[in-house]
Amino acid sequence: MQIDKAVQDRAAARAAELPGSEHTHQFTGDWEVWKVGGKVFMLQTSMPGEPVVILKADPSDAEALRAAHASISPGYHMNKKHWITVRAGADVEPALVDNLVTESYLLVVAGLPKQSRPVNPASFRVPPSAD
């Protein structure tokens, strides 16, 4: 069986572009963790053999995303209101992954003390990708 890691790969590439992003590993399990200012904004793991990306989301956005995309569900092992799980699917375009990772990052940055923020979340935008 071919495991589709395209969403994880795309999300990891976007996270690596974000100022102050740190990639770590959870002490137990097979979780990849991305943080900014010591706070988690993205997780990656496999839930029964299926690679997934778990991202922070504004609750109203999370609800709309789950309604619009079959490949987006409530956050796996996280607060279901504030986190979403993204898996590979025809309804998950690379640009959507980029936007979801960026928005998750900015939500976390906005919660950091101003002096700890690597960017201003109100004005920061990642340049669009080439593809």
Quick: pLDDT tens for 37-62. Answer: 999 999 999 887 789 999 999 999 99
Which residues are bridge partners to 27 per DSSP? Answer: none
> Global pTM?
0.91
What the chain holds in terms of domains, given with CATH numbers, is: 5-109 (3.90.1150.30)
Quick: pLDDT tens for 63-75. Answer: 999 999 999 999 8
